[in-house]
């Protein structure tokens, strides 16, 4: 009995510590965004609540907050959907069709994602310049698709492998062509896996900073992480209040997406861990 | 539809080398017949079914549906399952988890682009036959094993296939349900009259369901016949041991010759090997011969002076109506089946071998 209690206390303590550790930056962000005097360095300054920062980013045209947000959502959304579509075709052929050197393809794809981003930026910049794509959506969408493809592919391959082979056989016997097997059986059945892959891909693209910094020049294509980072105050000071308010708003789409697809994501990431 | 397999062979090549799954299979399934492929796991029975279905390409040989060649290695013909019009039921049912029961059953018709009104009628019909009309809106995960099985069968028969293939369809059901489903399946097959090939490793299922059974081992056919033929005249040790429960006792004996007659000995019991067996098995004058006797042909009691021996019972298993008793004879473990229910472990009893029910096998055929 005593041992039970000690166990519970230890578990709770560790859990509380973990949660606090993860949430402190987030709480700090929200508090700062609501603060009248968001100078986090001076502890002496008095604290007062205000929605001024939020009002500011919504109304100040010069901050281009909505343009950044729109760019981010479009770029990340398109990249995620296209990447997951390509990855689902690849995962299907790797798991179901007779294809030589399957494991080589998988490992090769994985090794691609291990290149440091910085090593590609220079070349990509000159490529985008030649193509005349600098400061356009394609300049971000194409690299993002390539960048998140390995992750999506690996998630989907492991997901597709869990689906019983008899499903394919049943579909073949029922008269399906290979395409019909894919879009009438495998993809609908693999929906949770597709959702989790798409969501992770979206978050990945949404958070990306370096490419967005290099390949965009203004609000016509710049995404929100870069946009926020480059917020400028009136006299060159860093407007922490605005930055934090914008960051808070920016997390909202992701939080909403995660909440909506929570069940799917957990299923997608843990499927196969236990026999269903 | 008559199904003919000619010299059918399937080899799989992998990194570990070439693995022959089925080899030189020749057999003919008659129109409307319930044909069972029986064998232990890894004997190639599922591969054979996949070959018939068109899920695998044969390495050699031909498959014919009536006179139509559906697969031939030499003539380079290979029809897809769709072109063959076969239907298949899988061990794990393989229902489409995202579709409800109605859509699962309608699926093959939708692929064929059947009219909606005809789909509805066909689905309602088979749902009625299989008594699942009240489940049409349920999703597969809401169904019990037996219900899933019915849906899988409904999906298979809804488009009136020429050949109906079943891959161990009952092995995921519990024992009681398996018995009732078995009876229903047999009845259903009779009623719809579709040529059926059924794969199983369970000899009870095979014996109760099959009009004829092919026993397979290591990709080869060991024997084809009706239940009674397999039970009463197994052609080799493998079939003898595999068909029948409890299995046949197989006793190694040595051949001896006396006055131009060949004999084998069961302890003190001397048994003359019948003339026809000497011919068919090509028995030499010396060597070993395997004598088989079914448990029910070992009778309790001293019924006959010459055929009886005294044994000590090692263990007993009561089956309710009958009892199995295990004993050691000639340092081999044997099993008898009796309706004397008052036997005890370690008891000394007399048993009598019914010599007219003996089976003789060449040792090499094992």
Domain definitions of chain A by residue range: 63-273
Does residue B151 belong to the interface with chain A, where contact is any CB pair within 8 Å? no
**Minimum-distance CB partner of B108 among A166, A174, A188:** A174
CB contact under 8 A, A189 and B91: no
CA distances to A142, A172, B99, B135, B171 from B102, rounded to whole Å, are 43, 19, 8, 8, 24
Q: What is the pLDDT of residue B33?
A: 95
Distance from CA of A264 to the nearest CA of B (A): 14
Range among A7-16, A38-47, A258-267, B305-314 rated most confident: A7-16
Q: What is the pLDDT of residue B272?
A: 84
Q: What confidence category does residue A44 fall into, taking pLDDT thresholds of 50, 70 and 90?
A: low
Q: Is the pLDDT of residue A169 over 60?
A: yes
Does residue A4 belong to the interface with chain B, where contact is any CB pair within 8 Å? no
Q: What is the C-alpha to C-alpha distance for residues A221 and A159, in angstroms, rounded to an integer?
A: 34
| Tokens read off for B159 | 């488009």
Helix, strand, or coil here: B194? coil
Q: What is the C-alpha to C-alpha distance for residues B54 and B47, in angstroms, rounded to an integer?
A: 10
Does residue B112 belong to the interface with chain A, where contact is any CB pair within 8 Å? yes
Test mutation, A96, A104, A165, A170, chain B, max B CBs within 10 A: A170
- For B102, counting Cβ atoms within 10 Å of its Cβ (0-12 exposed, 13-18 middle, 19+ buried), the class is buried
**Minimum-distance CB partner of B94 among A166, A175, A180:** A166
Average pLDDT, chain B: 90
Report pLDDT digits (tens) over B319-352. 889 999 999 988 889 999 998 888 889 999 999 9
Q: What confidence category does residue A276 fall into, taking pLDDT thresholds of 50, 70 and 90?
A: very low
Distance from CA of B94 to the nearest CA of A (A): 5
Report pLDDT digits (tens) over B215-262. 999 999 999 999 999 999 999 999 999 998 889 999 988 888 888 888
Nearest to B253 by CA among B295, B225, B216, B286: B286
List the 143-162 stretch of A: residues with Cβ below 8 A of B: none
Distance from CA of A164 to the nearest CA of B (A): 8
Q: What is the pLDDT of residue B55?
A: 92
Q: What confidence category does residue B134 fall into, taking pLDDT thresholds of 50, 70 and 90?
A: very high
Q: Is the pLDDT of residue A274 over 50?
A: no
Q: What's the CATH number of domain A63-273, 3.10.20.600, 1.10.3720.10, 1.10.8.60, 3.20.20.140?
A: 1.10.3720.10
pTM for this predicted structure: 0.81
ipTM: 0.83
Does residue A135 belong to the interface with chain B, where contact is any CB pair within 8 Å? no
Paired sense of beta strands B348-353 and B308-318, if any: antiparallel
* CA quadruple A230, A236, A237, A242: dihedral, nearest 10: -40
**Minimum-distance CB partner of B111 among A164, A176, A188:** A176
Q: What is the C-alpha to C-alpha distance for residues A92 and A89, in angstroms, rounded to an integer?
A: 5
DSSP secondary structure, B201-238, as one string: S-HHHHHHH-SEEEEEETTEEEEEE-HHHHHHS-SSHH
Nearest to A199 by CA among A79, A104, A48: A79
Average pLDDT, chain A: 86
Q: What is the C-alpha to C-alpha distance for residues B110 and A176, in angstroms, rounded to an integer?
A: 10
Distance from CA of B88 to the nearest CA of A (A): 7
Q: What is the pLDDT of residue B222?
A: 93
Q: Count CA atoms within 13 Å of residue B151 on its CB side.
A: 32
Helix, strand, or coil here: B225? strand
Task: Please report the sign of the dihedral spanned by the C-alpha atoms of residue B172, residue B178, residue B184, residue B188.
Answer: positive
CB contact under 8 A, B90 and A188: no
Q: What is the pLDDT of residue B266?
A: 81
Q: What share of chain B is helix, strand, coil (3-state, %, to 5)?
A: 30, 35, 35
Q: What is the pLDDT of residue A41?
A: 54
| Tokens read off for B229 | 């033929």
CB B350 within 8 A of CB B309: yes
Contacts of A184 in chain B (CB under 8 A): 107, 111
Distance from CA of B85 to the nearest CA of A (A): 8
Q: What is the pLDDT of residue A42?
A: 57
**Choice between A91 and B307, residue whose per-residue pLDDT is larger:** A91
DSSP symbol at B93: -
Q: What is the C-alpha to C-alpha distance for residues B282 and B280, in angstroms, rounded to an integer?
A: 6
Q: What is the pLDDT of residue A269?
A: 57
Helix, strand, or coil here: B332? strand
Report pLDDT digits (tens) over A182-238. 999 999 988 888 988 998 899 889 999 999 999 998 888 999 999 888 887 666 677
**Minimum-distance CB partner of A174 among B92, B97, B107:** B107
């Amino acid at each position: 009995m005593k041992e039970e209690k000690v166990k519970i206390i230890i578990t709770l303590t560790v859990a509380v510590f973990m949660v606090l550790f993860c949430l402190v930056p987030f709480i700090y962000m929200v508090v700062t965004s609501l603060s009248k005097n968001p100078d986090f360095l001076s502890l002496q300054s008095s604290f007062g609540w205000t929605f001024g920062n939020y009002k500011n980013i919504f109304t100040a045209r010069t901050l281009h907050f909505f343009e950044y947000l729109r760019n981010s959502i479009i770029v990340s959304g398109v990249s995620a959907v296209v990447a997951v579509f390509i990855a689902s075709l690849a995962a299907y052929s790797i798991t179901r069709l007779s294809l030589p050197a399957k494991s080589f393809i998988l490992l090769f794809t994985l090794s691609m994602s291990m290149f440091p981003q910085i090593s590609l930026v220079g070349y990509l910049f000159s490529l985008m310049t030649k193509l005349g794509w600098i400061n356009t959506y394609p300049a971000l969408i194409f690299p993002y698709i390539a960048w998140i493809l390995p992750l999506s592919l690996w998630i989907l391959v492991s997901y597709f492998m869990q689906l019983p082979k008899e499903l394919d056989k049943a579909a073949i016997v029922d008269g399906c062509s290979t395409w019909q097997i894919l879009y009438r059986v495998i993809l609908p059945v693999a929906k949770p896996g597709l959702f989790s892959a798409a969501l992770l891909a979206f978050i990945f693209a949404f958070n990306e900073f370096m490419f967005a910094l290099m390949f965009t020049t203004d609000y016509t294509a710049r995404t929100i992480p870069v946009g926020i980072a480059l917020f400028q105050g009136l006299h060159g000071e860093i407007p922490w209040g605005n930055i934090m308010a914008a960051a808070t708003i920016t997390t909202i789409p992701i939080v909403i997406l995660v909440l909506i697809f929570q069940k799917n994501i957990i299923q997608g990431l843990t499927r196969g861990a236990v026999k269903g | 539809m008559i199904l003919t397999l000619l010299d059918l062979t399937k080899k799989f090549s992998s990194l570990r080398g070439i693995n022959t799954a089925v080899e030189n299979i020749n057999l003919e399934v008659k129109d409307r017949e319930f044909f069972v492929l029986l064998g232990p796991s890894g004997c190639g029975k599922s591969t054979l079914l996949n070959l018939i279905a068109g899920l695998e390409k044969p390495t050699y040989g031909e498959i014919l549906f009536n006179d139509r060649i559906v697969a031939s290695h030499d003539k380079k013909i290979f029809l897809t399952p769709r072109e063959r019009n076969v239907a298949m039921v899988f061990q794990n049912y393989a229902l489409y988890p995202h579709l409800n029961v109605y859509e699962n059953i309608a699926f093959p018709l939708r692929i064929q682009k059947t009219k909606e009104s005809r789909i509805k009628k066909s689905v309602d019909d088979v749902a009625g036959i299989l008594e699942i009309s009240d489940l049409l809106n349920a999703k597969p995960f809401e169904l019990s094993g037996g219900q899933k099985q019915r849906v899988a069968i409904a999906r298979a028969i809804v488009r009136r296939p020429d050949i109906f293939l079943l891959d161990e369809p009952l092995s995921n059901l519990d024992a009681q349900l398996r018995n009732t489903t078995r009876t229903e399946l047999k009845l259903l097959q009779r009623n719809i009259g579709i040529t059926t090939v059924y794969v199983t490793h369970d000899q009870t299922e095979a014996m109760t369901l099959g009009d004829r059974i092919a026993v397979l081992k290591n990709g080869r056919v060991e024997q084809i016949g009706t239940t009674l033929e397999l039970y009463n005249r197994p052609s080799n040790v493998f079939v003898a041991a595999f068909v029948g429960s409890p299995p046949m006792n197989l006793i190694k004996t040595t051949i001896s010759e006396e006055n131009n007659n060949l004999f084998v000995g069961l302890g003190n019991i001397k048994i003359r090997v019948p003339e026809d067996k000497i011919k068919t098995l090509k028995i030499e004058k010396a060597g070993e011969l395997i004598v088989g006797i079914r448990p029910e042909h070992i009778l309790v009691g001293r019924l006959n002076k010459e055929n009886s021996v005294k044994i000590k019972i090692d263990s007993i298993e009561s089956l309710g109506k009958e009892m199995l008793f295990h004993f050691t004879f000639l340092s081999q473990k044997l099993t008898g089946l009796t309706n004397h229910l008052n036997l005890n472990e370690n008891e000394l009893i007399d048993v009598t071998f019914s010599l007219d029910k003996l089976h003789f096998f060449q040792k090499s055929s094992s």
